[in-house]
Structure 1
Amino acid sequence: MSDQPSRFHTTHAWVDYLSQVELPVLANTLKRINHLTDSTSSTVNELAGVILNDAQLTSQVLRLSNSAFYNHSRIQVSTVSRAITLIGFDAVKSMAISSLLIDTLIERNPRPHLLKSLARALHAAVQARCLLPGKNEQAREEVFIGALLTNIGELAFWSSATEQAGELSARLPDDNPAAVQKEILGTTFVEITRGLVDNWKLGQFMHDVVSANRATSPAVSLVRHSVELAREAEEGWRTPAVEKLLAAIAKDVDEKPATVRDRVRLNTAEAEEIAISFGIPQIRGLLPGRGEGNDAPQTEAPVADPALQLSILREISATLASQPDLNTVCQMVVEGIHRAVGMRRVVLLMTDRASNQLVPRKLLGPGTDSWRDDFVIDRDTRGPLASLMVESCQILPPHPSGPLLPVCDAWVGTRPALAGPLFAGDRLVGLFFADNGQLQTKPSQDQLVAFSHFIQQAQLCITLLARA
């Protein structure tokens, strides 16, 4: 008997399958959270209870509560109850919905089409939230979630393990995606979304956003236009389609088109930062470029930023001083090496359960998705990547034999790189590797020093945890 689910050919069948088989926990939790609409004392306690019932969701909400996107006061938040009090019921509710959705989908099946759809959804959500006029917090979070979930049918589908997902993936991109969806699925993403919005009881605002009717309010119109903008901007910021959308958004928010044009560029930068806060930095490369020249291949390596290095190192030190968490610290170290040290591509390899291999745990930068399966160092034999194993932080010269991962990456081994180990006692448990991909630029001694400082923070975390 095959483990593959049956094929589905109607909207109702897809909605039932996604709700009851693929994503029942997500569906039920979203129903519970959306049911909480009034910020009364009892409802606040209920929201805190829903979040605290899931350790991963709690961690994510607290991380977001301390991000600049949500926490303008910069006051450190350590409990969910405090987050609701300081940042607001609606903001924390929005964080919980967003985190739950993103974490659930990514854990299930991080295929390229899902990551692309998530990038568009998050970009649209940030645009809608930042563009909405006024300071009504409930309205701002409503449009954020509205844009994030506008294509929930597409997101849920790409996270599913069905034969039809593979078939549809093989047919894309296509000039008429709705027709291809109808042919293979018997329905469209839009129809599945409408079915899920009703089935999961996502509320009247979401129903209005995804309906086939005309927009019932400027907020609904803004969400729809933000979703379209996120998709069209992938082709560039000065296309006729984008210009038309900017004019429509200007009408939604009662601003001049030129003002809106400037704001949406800044909002895209905001989306890149919030992607890190949501734990999906890999989608940053899928967001539209903020400048007209950003679509061209990068010809110069990024430069080190000493001020940013210091800032990130201070954040890591504060994290270590409070409650060391190796996963969080390593994520911050990888980001620091990428953004502040100025290395285009970074990977952290850690020992697997059997401790026989070093396998990718954290990846950041263009072209690193292909490393997930192939960038593996066997600790017991002299495999092709064994030359990367070092006992101290150093600049690695190009390897004399050429590419070390010729199947998936033409540059590893052919370009100068940085490498640095992590130890648990005398035992090697991890390895950081960073390079500039296709660029010939050799890391400088200053970059090596900064690289070493970041790795020392990860090493300190391991040491502290060993003593605990």
Structure 2
Amino acid sequence: MSVSPSTESAADPRRVRAALLRKVAGSPEMAALGAAMARVVGMASSDDRGTQDLTRYVLSDAALTKRILRLVNTVRYRTASGMAVTTISRAITLLGFDNVKTTALAMLLVDGLAAAPADDPHARRVRVELEAALCASLVGGELGHASSWPAAEEAAFAALFKNLGPLLVAVHENERYLEVQALAAAGEHTPGQAARMILGCGYEALSEAVLDAWQMPAAMARVQAPPPDGVLPVALEREEWMRQVAAFSLDVARLLGRTHDPAGTPEAQGLLERYGIALGLDAACLEALFETVASSLAGLLQSMGLQPVPRLERRDGKEPEGLPNVLLLATLGAGEAEEQGVHPSGKPRNAAELLLAGVQDVTQMRACGERKANEIMLAVLETLHQALGFRFAALVLKDVRTGQFRARASFGLEDKGIQDGFAFPSAVPGGARDIFHLALANDADLVITDAHAPRIHDLLPAWHRILLPDAASFVVLPLVVGKAQLGMFYADRTVEAPEGIPPDETALIKALKVQVLTALGCAPGV
């Protein structure tokens, strides 16, 4: 049975549009979501700095870290050796920088909608739109990987945002969402026309307005506009290609949301007729795309602890009675194993197990020919930070141009000034030796359980006492080959760590150092 639009919304759609924009883009919660998503979109992938920034961003969110690691350890991505991946650095190597960025965006979107009302019908509607957005991003990613357009990976982001309008309306204006659905289901209006009548603007225009409010790149907002009707020609500009991909991706997502076997259906044939020439697709390519995206979506939902929405719920907008609430966005961690215990210092009690997993990870990276020194060092730094529970960990390398040791990468503190400030000269005027120069000169791994002890405090340089005044315990792991002092790993806590580092953990840390030194030896000039 169709539902007619309410008198208020039909009579004054402009008022509805203004109120809707204030709610979906202007609230503090939505503004925070937009800022987080804009930050991820803005991360450049052209150099090692981008990888470091993405790794640090993921590690700053424990839930996001778990989900990325769950994803990379699903059957689709599991390594040939069968060993579990335990570091985000390794996950980025296996999944790809852009895949991890897209996944992080998708998970931000999921978490940002955790406050949706939990009544079953409403929650299912939100889940249908959310799953369509996630599926569209996977379609866009596949087309981006196969494209020769510059920065084609952004197609995944554009496709994810293509369904932002319906998704946010489903979350924040459920009654309006139902009115649009009912008006379109009556058959006299397209979904776009129905949205304009009820909301005062089409869903694409709403998505574009929200992205503008979130200060996303202007091009990302512009490509939300629908392409012309009919058969689409090959795009002459990247932005037009992105617009085609975003529209196609959502159309594919809607089709996959209605049926488990879309190949050969009239809808699939319609997609080929409209998009085939523009995107270089034939029936075989489209069928392979359906299979790949369906598999990827299953893995993505699994990594988030979500079950796919049953297809039966989506036919003609009807919802069967008595189905369980499958949203559960506020309890994504439900059913996970309880966290391992930690010492009062914050060090995990299973540190040896985590260190061993890190050693295996790094060993496999090198065995597979992934010998880029910076990737190896980032993976080791991440392992030390996570496995031993440090609040701040830094990789410090000698800059041959300035004669200084400087932190080149760090995890644990968002303040970039900390990493930039972690620098000291390779030679101290007057020959005075502090704790860092002594460790380097003697190639001695130091475990300082109480940095406030007078004899230790006296050996701390002034720059360290100013930069990290609350460091109560720390480790220094020099990287020395022969007489060449290459740098060190540094990591600290704000509390004392009387448990120290037992022999089994010490052996694993030394094994990690050997991997780094070997990688540095294979990369002269680092």
Corresponding position: 1:181 with 2:219: no
**Of 18, 24, 27, which residue of structure 2 is paired with 1:18?**
24
Q: What letter corresponds to residue 43 of structure 1 in structure 2?
A: G
Change in CA separation of 1:89 and 1:270 when aligned onto 2, cut-off 3 Å: closer
Corresponding position: 1:35 with 2:42: yes
Q: Report deviation, 1:10.
A: 5.4
Aligned to 1:196: 210
CA offsets per residue over residues 294-319 of structure 1, 9 Å max, x none?
xxxxxxxxxxxxxxxxxxxxxxxxxx
1:98 and 1:52 mapped to 2: Cα distance? 16
**Of 201, 220, 224, which residue of structure 1 is paired with 2:247?**
224
1:259 and 1:252 mapped to 2: Cα distance? 13
Q: Report deviation, 1:118.
A: 1.9
2:32 and 2:312 mapped to 1: Cα distance? 28
Q: What letter corresponds to residue 20 of structure 1 in structure 2?
A: G
Q: Report deviation, 1:200.
A: 1.9
2:184 and 2:276 mapped to 1: Cα distance? 32
Decide whether the 8 Å contact of 1:71 with 1:87 is kept in 2: no
Q: What letter corresponds to residue 253 of structure 2 in structure 1?
A: A
Which aligned pairs between 1:354-369 and structure 2 lie closer than 5 A?
Answer: none
Which aligned pairs between 1:137-156 and structure 2 lie closer than 5 A?
Answer: 141-156=153-168
Larger Rg: 2
1:288 and 1:252 mapped to 2: Cα distance? 29
CA offsets per residue over residues 80-130 of structure 1, 9 Å max, x none?
334334543322211211111123224534622211112322332333333
Aligned to 1:223, the other structure's residue is in SS state helix
2:210 and 2:33 mapped to 1: Cα distance? 12
Aligned to 2:101: 93
Corresponding position: 1:79 with 2:91: no
2:164 and 2:148 mapped to 1: Cα distance? 25
Aligned to 1:46: 53
- Deviation larger for 161-170 or 240-249: 161-170
Q: Report deviation, 1:152.
A: 0.7
Which aligned pairs between 1:355-434 and structure 2 lie closer than 5 A?
Answer: none
Aligned to 1:157: 169
Corresponding position: 1:64 with 2:71: yes
Change in CA separation of 1:286 and 1:149 when aligned onto 2, cut-off 3 Å: farther
> Number of residues paired by the alignment?
290
1:89 and 1:194 mapped to 2: Cα distance? 26
Q: What letter corresponds to residue 271 of structure 2 in structure 1?
A: L
Decide whether the 8 Å contact of 1:123 with 1:271 is kept in 2: yes
Q: Report deviation, 1:168.
A: 5.3
Aligned to 1:111, the other structure's residue is in SS state helix
Aligned to 2:303: 277
Corresponding position: 1:244 with 2:270: yes
Change in CA separation of 1:71 and 1:191 when aligned onto 2, cut-off 3 Å: farther
Q: Bigger relative contact order, structure 1 or 2, given CA contacts below 8 A and separation 6+?
A: 2
Change in CA separation of 1:55 and 1:170 when aligned onto 2, cut-off 3 Å: farther
Q: Report deviation, 1:151.
A: 1.2
Q: Report deviation, 1:210.
A: 0.6
Could you tell me which runs of 5 or more consecutive residues in structure 2 were left unpaired when the two chains were aligned.
1-12, 229-234, 316-332, 339-526
Aligned to 2:44, the other structure's residue is in SS state coil
CA offsets per residue over residues 342-363 of structure 1, 9 Å max, x none?
xxxxxxxxxxxxxxxxxxxxxx
2:163 and 2:198 mapped to 1: Cα distance? 18
Change in CA separation of 1:68 and 1:202 when aligned onto 2, cut-off 3 Å: farther
**Of 98, 110, 121, which residue of structure 2 is paired with 1:102?**
110
The two structures have a TM-score, normalised by structure 2, of: 0.47
Which aligned pairs between 1:203-218 and structure 2 lie closer than 5 A?
Answer: 203=217, 206-212=220-226, 216-217=237-238, 218=241
1:29 and 1:130 mapped to 2: Cα distance? 24
2:141 and 2:271 mapped to 1: Cα distance? 16
Q: Report deviation, 1:63.
A: 1.8
Change in CA separation of 1:199 and 1:68 when aligned onto 2, cut-off 3 Å: farther
Q: What letter corresponds to residue 134 of structure 1 in structure 2?
A: A
Decide whether the 8 Å contact of 1:8 with 1:14 is kept in 2: no
CA offsets per residue over residues 156-176 of structure 1, 9 Å max, x none?
221226664566577674432
2:54 and 2:274 mapped to 1: Cα distance? 36
1:166 and 1:113 mapped to 2: Cα distance? 9
Q: What letter corresponds to residue 81 of structure 1 in structure 2?
A: S
CA offsets per residue over residues 252-308 of structure 1, 9 Å max, x none?
44343344235424533443343222332132546999xxxxxxxxxxxxxxxxxxx
CA offsets per residue over residues 40-75 of structure 1, 9 Å max, x none?
344333323332332222222222232345566665
Aligned to 2:15, the other structure's residue is in SS state coil
Change in CA separation of 1:174 and 1:230 when aligned onto 2, cut-off 3 Å: farther
Aligned to 1:153, the other structure's residue is in SS state helix
Q: Report deviation, 1:194.
A: 0.9
Q: What letter corresponds to residue 202 of structure 1 in structure 2?
A: M
Decide whether the 8 Å contact of 1:121 with 1:149 is kept in 2: yes
1:250 and 1:182 mapped to 2: Cα distance? 29
1:272 and 1:285 mapped to 2: Cα distance? 14
- Deviation larger for 270-279 or 186-195: 270-279
Q: Report deviation, 1:12.
A: 4.9
Decide whether the 8 Å contact of 1:28 with 1:200 is kept in 2: yes
Corresponding position: 1:125 with 2:132: no
Q: Report deviation, 1:192.
A: 0.9
Which aligned pairs between 1:197-346 and structure 2 lie closer than 5 A?
Answer: 197-203=211-217, 206-212=220-226, 216-217=237-238, 218-232=241-255, 234=258, 237-283=263-309, 285=311, 327-328=335-336
Aligned to 2:86, the other structure's residue is in SS state coil
CA offsets per residue over residues 182-229 of structure 1, 9 Å max, x none?
343333322210111222233355334312466644454233212123
Could you tell me which runs of 5 or more consecutive residues in structure 1 were left unpaired when the two chains were aligned.
1-6, 290-324, 331-468
Identity of aligned residues (%): 24
CA offsets per residue over residues 361-389 of structure 1, 9 Å max, x none?
xxxxxxxxxxxxxxxxxxxxxxxxxxxxx
1:159 and 1:8 mapped to 2: Cα distance? 20
1:81 and 1:205 mapped to 2: Cα distance? 30
Decide whether the 8 Å contact of 2:40 with 2:105 is kept in 1: yes
2:185 and 2:294 mapped to 1: Cα distance? 24
Decide whether the 8 Å contact of 2:224 with 2:246 is kept in 1: no
